[in-house]
Structure formats: C-alpha cells, structure tokens
Amino acid sequence: MTTRLDDLPLRDDLRGMVPYGAPQAPLPVALNVNENTHPVPQEVADDILDSLARALRDVNRYPDREFTALRESFAEYLGHGLTADQIWAGNGSNEVLQHILQAFAGPGRTAFSFGPTYSMYPLLTRGVGARWIAGERGHDYVLSPESAVEQVTQARPDVVFLCSPNNPTGTPLSLDVISAVYDAVDAIVIVDEAYHEFAPREERSALTLLPGRERLVVSRTMSKAFAFAGARVGYLAADPAFVDALRLVRLPYHLSALTQAAALAALAHAPTMLAMVDEIVAQRDRISATVAALGYEPYESWTNFVLFGGVDDPDATWQALYDRGVLIRNLDIPHALRVTAGTEEETTAFLDALASVGSRA
C-alpha cells in the first residue's frame, strides 16, 4: 500500500500546507518566474569557468566557512560605506530569509507582511514554527506610512517583511514607510530588495537607512539583475551584531566553494552583468504600454515584471497564451496576470500572443 503524507507523523502545523512551486513547462517562451532571460555574457561565463576550475583543485577540503572574500566583494558592490562584517550570504535569498526567521522567529513568535506579497514569506515563517499574519495594501497595492504603522502596531509582530519593490505587484515602497514601520515596533524589519536594480537609478536604497538601526536588514539576490538564478546566491546587509546572530543557526560550511567561486567571478564583472538591466527595463515599459493599449490595466512596476489587471477570465487567458507557446503566471489576484519582461524577441512573442487572444479596448 502506498504511504500518504498524512500517514507520517508530520508536525501538526505543517499539515495541509502546500510546497512553493511555479508551473514549469517546456514552452518556447517562459516568462512566469521573473528570471533574467538574458544569458550570462560569454566573457563572464569564461571567467566563472576558470574560477570554478581553480576551486575544484581544493574541493576535497571544506570551503571558507566565513566566505570572507565574497562578503568583501558584496560590501564593495553595495557601497554605502558597508564593510564585510555587515554582510551575510546564503544559497539564494530564501535561505538568507530562513536564517533570519530561525534566529528571530520560531514557535510562539509571529511574522508579518502586507499582502499580496512574496508567497515564500508565509511558507518560510510556518516552516520555522512561527505564526504568519497578513496585512493589507491600499489602492493599486500602494502602502502608506499611516496605514503601515496602524497595522503593525495592532499586530505587534516579531518580524516584519517589507518587499521593496513588491512581488508580485511590482509596487514601489517609499523609505518613509520603512522608517515609520521601524520606529513603530520593536521587531526585526526586513527590507527585501530582490528587484532593486530595476528601480529608477535615482531612487535611494534602504541601505541608506541602516546606520543606527540595529534591527533593520536589507536583503538582495544575484538571481535577477545578475542572471544568476541557477547559481542560488542571496545576501544581506545589517548591523554586525545581527550578522553574528545568523551564525548561530546556519549549517556548517553552508556556502560551497564552487558557489563562492562563481559568485566572486560574477561580481568582478558587475558592470557587464548589470548592462542588461536597462534593456530589461525597456521591455518592461514596452509591455506596460502595449497591454494598456490592448485595454488591460498595468500596475506601476519597478521590477523586471508587469502585473496587469482587467483580465475577465485569467484562467482562460493564461491557457490561451499557453496554447500559443507562452508561459506567464496566474496568481491568486482576481482578474490579473503577471508576465516577466524577457528579451525583445520573447516580449514580442508574448505581446503578439496576447493581442491574438483578444483586445479589451
């Protein structure tokens, strides 16, 4: 007889949960998981391969447990006077966020964010045995300082997630909201800047708020702007004491020597790796303009994707695009779909397919 999950002595708080996962299908155009659809430039790939080859010579030994060179490189990339002792990294930003929750959440504690937001936040929270509390956003998913403070004051969470810009809506988040939330609670405040590189260049990062705020942390990822989703490298900046807390929960040698080598090589080519961001932003804005001309309602986006509303039947529209070889994301947001900004060719394929499905104009 086949064993079912319910037959196992699973933790009670995990029963009924569903693992994270986006649909995967071998379609010609995959624009559903906010990947950077541009491949790593050849000259960068060559240097990464050389770096990996050197690392392989000592792969019989454990890696640098403190990944010192990588932390120094991240600090240099981020700027703002940051030093290596303020940097932490993990296998994707999800592991970095998990480390924070392991250190500062857990049974009897709560984590909070404003929905809709990144779907991994509640999964990570429940995975460490903490309770998830969902707040709300205002019109067009914008969050005001007044509303944010009112909600966090009422919830009194131990950890607050602020996705800036927000996923899955693309919505910008002002620094005023971040500082107001920080001042309103005694919680750890995480500003998730996974898509920061796609925001307007003149916009300040939450990194500027770090001095004097020992409970504030800013997380980033190499998955998006650096086209490194398959390498799994995320990182954060915070007070050195905060970083020390994460050492208490991380697994020994959690970043492999190969991961460190690949990330270091990519960071050495940061200007080249980031050169594709402008092209992606251009395609994002092209998507927004074209879906609006087709009668849909694109939301403001500072990311590499566009959420558009006004979709009468998201399931039918998603399926019609799928049948035309284009995969986008159907979320739990009424009358809305989300599409990643791809290459010019991929974006054209999506827009042509959407137009063929039928305009709402």
Residue 136: how many other CB atoms lie within 10 Å: 11
CATH code for the domain in which residue 352 is found? 3.90.1150.10
Residue 121 lies in a domain: yes
DSSP 245-307: HHHTTSPTT-S-HHHHHHHHHHHTTHHHHHHHHHHHHHHHHHHHHHHHHTT-EEPP-SSSEEE
Domain span at residue 337?
A: 22-38+272-357
Instruction: Please check whether residues 230 and 300 belong to one and the same domain.
Output: no
- 76: helix, strand or coil: helix
Domain boundary among 244, 268, 292: 268
Domain boundary among 239, 268, 297: 268
Instruction: Please check whether residues 75 and 89 belong to one and the same domain.
Output: yes
- 329: helix, strand or coil: strand
Between 341 and 4, residue with greater pLDDT: 341
User: Domain tally for the chain?
Assistant: 2
Instruction: Please check whether residues 210 and 264 belong to one and the same domain.
Output: yes
Measured torsion, CA atoms of residues 71, 73, 78, 81, in degrees rounded to the nearest 10: 80
User: What is the arithmetic mean of pLDDT over 61-74?
Assistant: 98
Considering only CA atoms, which of 109, 253, 251 is closest in space to residue 187?
A: 109
Could you tell me what percent of the chain has a pLDDT over 90? 92
Question: How does residue 330 score in pLDDT terms, banded at 50, 70 and 90?
Answer: very high
- The strand order across the sheet containing 305-309 reads 297-298, 305-309, 337-340
Instruction: Please check whether residues 242 and 126 belong to one and the same domain.
Output: yes
Residue 74 lies in a domain: yes
Instruction: Please check whether residues 237 and 150 belong to one and the same domain.
Output: yes
What tens digit of pLDDT does each residue of 336-354 get?
A: 999 999 999 999 999 999 9
Instruction: Please check whether residues 263 and 316 belong to one and the same domain.
Output: no
Instruction: Please check whether residues 251 and 285 belong to one and the same domain.
Output: no
* Confidence check: pLDDT of 70 > 80: yes
Considering only CA atoms, which of 315, 320, 340, 342 is closest in space to residue 330?
A: 315
Residue 13 lies in a domain: no
Residue 344 lies in a domain: yes
User: What is the arithmetic mean of pLDDT over 222-231?
Assistant: 95
Q: Which helix (H) or strand (E) holds 146?
A: helix 145-155
CATH code for the domain in which residue 119 is found? 3.40.640.10
Instruction: Please check whether residues 193 and 238 belong to one and the same domain.
Output: yes
* Confidence check: pLDDT of 179 > 90: yes
Instruction: Please check whether residues 51 and 200 belong to one and the same domain.
Output: yes
Question: How does residue 113 score in pLDDT terms, banded at 50, 70 and 90?
Answer: very high
Residue 82 lies in a domain: yes
Measured torsion, CA atoms of residues 255, 261, 267, 268, in degrees rounded to the nearest 10: 160
Residue 7 lies in a domain: no
Instruction: Please check whether residues 278 and 234 belong to one and the same domain.
Output: no
> Strand 216-221 to strand 188-192: parallel, antiparallel, or no bridges (unpaired)?
parallel
Contacts of 292 (CB under 8 A, 6+ apart): 298
Mean model confidence pLDDT for the chain? 96
Asked if residue 47 lies in contact with residue 346, where contact means CB atoms within 8 angstroms, the answer is no
* Residue carrying structure tokens 């933790």: 11
Q: What is the pLDDT of residue 359?
A: 64
Instruction: Please check whether residues 308 and 175 belong to one and the same domain.
Output: no
Domain boundary among 253, 268, 283: 268
Residue 1 lies in a domain: no
Instruction: Please check whether residues 82 and 94 belong to one and the same domain.
Output: yes
Residue 4 lies in a domain: no
Between 332 and 98, residue with greater pLDDT: 98
